[in-house]
Chains A and B, each alone.
Chain A
């Protein structure tokens, strides 16, 4: 049994992984070793997107990232959005639109949508659908999720205009 000790940079914090096995996925290490259980585990084959995280600013399925190969990369999980006291604007938009039913796909969608709006603050409908095409929701049927993106985008635009006006 080969074991490894290495550190991962998650949401700006450095975590030690002690006695890890080389086969462990980033998703498994996040959930089981680092107790960051916000990223969900469903398919483990990159089909569902519920484990979506950012690695060096790009969305990826954390189940398909070898944990020990992510040393030195900047990892952002759902726990890195918003803060303990205040949820992020995209999270708030999900609440306002009623875009959460069972909630299992929600963390992955939030990470994907937050990243989309960071790069394209005013995406058209097709761009949004493309951006979340790797995140499966089996409850709501996406209507309210798309509505949540529209709300978040509108709020960000209003906030940007306000800040520019100052």
Chain B
């Protein structure tokens, strides 16, 4: 069959229904690495990169619906970064300009790497995803979608159509540890999202467990201690306790990018730093 360039979501779903074994191509930044290494030979390819619907975003109630084909570069544009500063920060740390132009949000999620940069932010914000096939449209939460290391809940014939992200009032921060600024896969990443209206601090962590997750115990502790009027009076003791709770919730491994011990230490530093930065700004 070769390469099929779909022009609409419906067309893509129809093609996939007919060819369930087709390889789905979005930005290509993960897939082509495997293809070039010879570990993944392509026969039938469904290219989603030219579907206008997947590149759009819309606002609905207090949520933004992001097309799965939105690139990392798109996420850093002021229109979107105003709603999700932490998501823009995360997108900004991905690869290089070349990679950010090609790589997509949907691709980051489908790849479902423990180190996927946008994932801790989306987890912290309780994002959900719309999955579509020729016969069904369903919505799953991001934590239901990512089922393990590089494993996702897509059924045969399904593609990611969009990602629904609630808008939160208050400052946000994304931090990532790597060996340098550009072209780096995160060793540890952390997102802190303030929800001023619900008086809640939300924390997502990445690269320290098989799947990125929310550090709920740390969230509850700090949301209770946080001074929601002046956001100034956090004691050293509270900050340390918070960062320890975050670190205790992780299950890192040793690999060529860092040891488990280093990751435990680094996530503590990131938690502390993110909290200090969020506290330094205007909370409302």
Using a CB–CB distance below 8 Å, which chain A residues touch chain B? Answer: 2, 4, 22-23, 25, 44-47, 49, 52, 58-61, 63-66, 68-69, 71-72, 112, 130-131, 133-136
Contact = CB atoms under 8 A, between A and B. Distances in A.
A64 B80 CA distance: 26
B185 to A, nearest CB: 10
B35 interface: yes
B195 interface: no
Shortest Cβ-Cβ A-B pairs, 8 listed? A134-B96, A133-B182, A68-B3, A44-B36, A64-B32, A4-B2, A22-B42, A58-B101
A60 B182 CA distance: 15
B183 interface: yes
A45 B181 CA distance: 18
Given A23-B35, A64-B28, A133-B182, 13 more contacts: A2-B2, A22-B43, A25-B35, A58-B73, A59-B101, A65-B28, A66-B35, A69-B3, A69-B45, A130-B97, A134-B95, A134-B96, A134-B182
Nearest to B2: A4
A64 B47 CA distance: 13
Interface in B58-95: 73, 95
A112 B98 CA distance: 9
B163 to A, nearest CB: 22
Contact of A22 (B2, B95, B97, B98): B2
Interface of B: 1-3, 5, 25, 27-29, 32-33, 35-37, 41-45, 47, 49, 73, 95-99, 101-102, 181-183
Q: Chain B interface mostly helix, strand, loop or mixed?
A: mixed
A52 B96 CA distance: 11
Nearest to B45: A22
Nearest to A69: B47
Contacts of A58: 73, 101
Contacts of B25: 66, 69
Contacts of B98: 46, 49, 52, 59-61, 112, 134
A112 B96 CA distance: 11
Contacts of A130: 97
A63 B36 contact: yes
A2 B29 contact: no
Given A65-B28, A69-B3, A69-B25, A46 B99 contact: yes
Contacts of A4: 2-3
B25 to A, nearest CB: 6
Contact of B42 (A23, A45, A65): A23
A17 B95 CA distance: 30
